[in-house]
A and B are shown apart, each in its own frame.
Chain A
Amino acid sequence: MTNRTRQNRIALTGGAAAAEALRQIEPDVMPVYPITPQTPIIETYAKLRADGEVVTEIIQVESEHSAISASVGSSAAGARTVTATSSQGLALMNEILYIASGMRLPILMVISARALSAPINIHGDHSDVMDARDAGWIQIFSENAQEAYDNVIIGMKLAEKVRIPTMVIMDGFSTSHSVENLEILPSEKVKEFVGEFWPEKYLLDVENPVTFGPLALQNSYFEFKVDQEKAMERAVSEYLAIAKEFERLSGRKKDYFEAYELEDAEQVIILAGSAAGTTKDVVDKLRKQGKKVGLLKINLFRPFPRKEIVEALKNAKSIAIMERAISSGTYPPIYQDILNGLYQTKQEKNIQSIVYSLGGRDIFAKDIEKVFENLIKEDMIGEIKYIL
């Protein structure tokens, strides 16, 4: 750790931490529209703009649909572009998410993940981001304010490297509105890390006119989509390269996932987001009792690093996959992905699918302890279990 960059230690909410990373990146254009619990990010940034600390062109659009639409215009024009949203806002953007990724525009979107209506609920879960998981965007989950800060910086560089739009996700309220201590890199180091954005082709290059968003029919559409998917596959290793570069800069360990006491663990919980903190406490407690339990916390969710994740599960006997989203009519999203990976590598495990904390319902250490106890007893039910 001797080469580690000197960093400021300050206390910020997750939202403010993301805004701080954005201040340091200082994107060219930010089309934004308010929605709880994302709003503190754009409010903080608007104040920075008002105080002259950043020169970013903020566009106060009239809907999230226009926020992402203007982002497409801005990014295609050649400007580094960032937006932010939550819940209904992300759902309203849905149509244009596919257009942004189909046009290979490296837009960064910060998301305070929140439940979807109806009934309306402003609190955290992953329904919104899981709904967008097939939209061709990279999705990176954050456990806390520190990771939200780090992932904004990693996500910006990654998006532009692979020309795929990227969502950096933190849990609504539990992360976005909770004050935590975190380390902030010097601004010049962040600027140096993300570098300048120089797209190969862009609208404002008027001497070299290019047509964005053409009509592609039966003879070409398919190739466009396959090319896009190949780029998504390549993004798996690109993510790791950039994450490791950030690890060297910050001294904070970065990987596809966090393996917490995972190496020899026989009972494993897999999850993404803020509940990882509580789960680690529970793992510590049970380890002291001699129980071989562990946690696999997903960082990169799209593209899904299937091979690497299932490799890390090879010693596990029973696994609980805990999710803050439902995939209506079937098993939840992460469960489906893990099961695919295990099947492909011919690993047979006892697997439990658990849904927890929808609409911001609290989850406690005792709930997680119970999950581990059931795994140890191999008291598994085939159906999805809801921690109500």
Chain B
Amino acid sequence: MNKELAKNFASGHSACAGCAFPSIVRTILNESPDPVVVANATGCLEVTSTLYPYTAWKVPYIHNAFENASATISGVERAYKALKKKGKIAKDKKIKFVVFGGDGGTYDIGLQSLSGALERGHDFLYVVYDNGGYMNTGNQRSSATPYGANTETTPVGKNSFGKMDTRKNLMEIVNAHRIQYAAQGNVAYLNDLKKKAKKAFETPGPTFLSVFSPCTNNWKFPTSQYVNIAKLATETNFWPLYEIENGKHKINWATEKPKKVEEFLQTQGRFKHLFSEKNKPVLEQIQKMVDEEWQRLVNLTD
């Protein structure tokens, strides 16, 4: 494997073929101008990269628990300040602090810890790789799971079309902390992600990246397709690329004629049931929700 690409996160981890997060981790970390320390919430990334006695991490790394990666990095970041004051770390030594968490560890169980760390203004980058569910434990719903998705805890049945609640808008929650930089990226747009990671590293204080990360196993698509599916998510406006810089919203990718959300949904087994006569209204509802969310975002850019 390309040594430069794998300089922070090695090959030989045990993530599924066709998993998105190795690209996300490498792309982001490789944009850091300084050495990094990584904290990781419990999840797929953690279990597939740290199976003792091996580790895929070529940078200092800590996994504490599921819900506390942000609190953990808070401690690391303040330790850095303290040891600098003491002269145990050279005054000009710069280190960046990065958290990786899945949507379960971020939207749900880790939300309080994240909020606390954002509010206290620690100098760190939080990255959520959003695969829309608890994939490490076998596809249970999270508050990031899309409306209509079939999961093990929102199964399709006579009285169910899958997840019947809408996704939480985490970007708005993060933005409510008035941090200087938050952005939404997608593994299918690595150049865009690079720019965002670079900007995040250049911004002092807490920064946030929400990155779309398809899951071959539980979204049920062929391993070769994760980039294509991720691309469709943005082309249908299901997952817009945008950034919030000092409160100002900017859309980074747009088209005059977005594709129908069905084009994205039909690529995945988790939405298969929506393409029945009975569930037509659900499909229509999803299109309506995507259109409304997009319009809300467009309005914020004015």
Q: How far is the CB of A206 from chain B (nearest CB, A)?
A: 4
A72 contacts chain B at the CB level, 8 A cutoff: yes
B95 contacts chain A at the CB level, 8 A cutoff: yes
CA distance A71 to B60 in the complex (A): 17
Q: Which residues of B contact A95 (CB under 8 A)?
A: 65
Q: Which residues of B contact A215 (CB under 8 A)?
A: 46-47, 50-52
For the complex, count residues of A whose C-beta is within 8 A of B. Answer: 43
Q: Which residues of A contact B50 (CB under 8 A)?
A: 211, 213-215
- Known pairs A204-B79, A215-B50; A73 contacts B55 (CB<8 A): no
Does A69 lie within 8 Å of B76, measured CB to CB? no
CA distance A206 to B57 in the complex (A): 12
- Known pairs A73-B72, A77-B76; A65 contacts B67 (CB<8 A): yes
Does B65 lie within 8 Å of A206, measured CB to CB? no
Q: Which residues of B contact A213 (CB under 8 A)?
A: 50, 62-64
A194 contacts chain B at the CB level, 8 A cutoff: no
Task: Point out the residue from B46, B63, B67, B71 that lies within 8 Å of A61, measured CB to CB.
Answer: B71
CA distance A112 to B51 in the complex (A): 39
Residue on A with the closest CB to B89? Answer: A204
A86 contacts chain B at the CB level, 8 A cutoff: no
Q: Which residues of A contact B60 (CB under 8 A)?
A: 203-206, 209-211
Q: Which residues of A contact B51 (CB under 8 A)?
A: 214-215, 217
Q: How far is the CB of A67 from chain B (nearest CB, A)?
A: 8
Binary B-proximity of A212-238 (CB < 8 A = 1, otherwise 0) = 111111001000000000000000000
- Known pairs A69-B68, A73-B71, A220-B53; A206 contacts B116 (CB<8 A): no
Q: Which residues of B contact A29 (CB under 8 A)?
A: 75, 78-79, 82
A76 contacts chain B at the CB level, 8 A cutoff: yes
Q: Which of A55, A62, A203 has the most C-beta atoms of chain B within 10 angstroms of its own C-beta?
A: A203
B294 contacts chain A at the CB level, 8 A cutoff: no
Q: Which residues of B contact A71 (CB under 8 A)?
A: 75
A75 contacts chain B at the CB level, 8 A cutoff: yes
Chain B interface category by residue count: 35 or more
Does B71 lie within 8 Å of A70, measured CB to CB? yes
Does A66 lie within 8 Å of B113, measured CB to CB? yes
Does B82 lie within 8 Å of A57, measured CB to CB? yes
Task: Point out the residue from B59, B74, B86 that lies within 8 Å of A70, measured CB to CB.
Answer: B74
Give the residues from 19 to 55 in chain A that come closer than 8 angstroms, CB to CB, to chain B. Answer: 28-29, 31, 55
Does A28 lie within 8 Å of B86, measured CB to CB? yes
B58 contacts chain A at the CB level, 8 A cutoff: yes
Q: How far is the CB of B90 from chain A (nearest CB, A)?
A: 11
Does B116 lie within 8 Å of A73, measured CB to CB? no
Does A81 lie within 8 Å of B75, measured CB to CB? yes
Does A212 lie within 8 Å of B62, measured CB to CB? yes
Does B75 lie within 8 Å of A211, measured CB to CB? no
CA distance A31 to B77 in the complex (A): 12
B217 contacts chain A at the CB level, 8 A cutoff: no
A60 contacts chain B at the CB level, 8 A cutoff: yes
A251 contacts chain B at the CB level, 8 A cutoff: no
Give the residues from 175 to 225 in chain A that come closer than 8 angstroms, CB to CB, to chain B. Answer: 203-206, 209-217, 220
A56 contacts chain B at the CB level, 8 A cutoff: yes
A96 contacts chain B at the CB level, 8 A cutoff: yes
Does A206 lie within 8 Å of B35, measured CB to CB? yes
CA distance A89 to B113 in the complex (A): 15
Task: Point out the residue from A55, A211, A220 that lies within 8 Å of B85, measured CB to CB.
Answer: A55
A87 contacts chain B at the CB level, 8 A cutoff: no
Residue on A with the closest CB to B37? Answer: A203
CA distance A69 to B63 in the complex (A): 11
B112 contacts chain A at the CB level, 8 A cutoff: yes
Task: Point out the residue from B52, B75, B85 that lies within 8 Å of A214, measured CB to CB.
Answer: B52
A79 contacts chain B at the CB level, 8 A cutoff: yes
30 contacts between A and B (CB under 8 A): A29-B78, A31-B71, A57-B81, A57-B82, A62-B119, A63-B112, A63-B116, A66-B71, A67-B71, A71-B75, A72-B62, A74-B82, A75-B79, A77-B80, A77-B83, A79-B82, A96-B64, A203-B60, A203-B61, A204-B83, A204-B89, A205-B60, A206-B59, A209-B58, A211-B50, A211-B55, A211-B60, A213-B64, A214-B51, A216-B52
Excluding A72-B72, A212-B61, A213-B64, 14 further A-B contacts by CB distance (< 8 Å) are A28-B83, A57-B81, A59-B78, A62-B116, A73-B64, A204-B37, A205-B60, A206-B36, A206-B37, A211-B63, A212-B62, A214-B51, A214-B55, A214-B63
Residues of A that sit less than 8 Å from B by CB: 28-29, 31, 55-57, 59-63, 65-67, 69-79, 81, 95-96, 99, 203-206, 209-217, 220
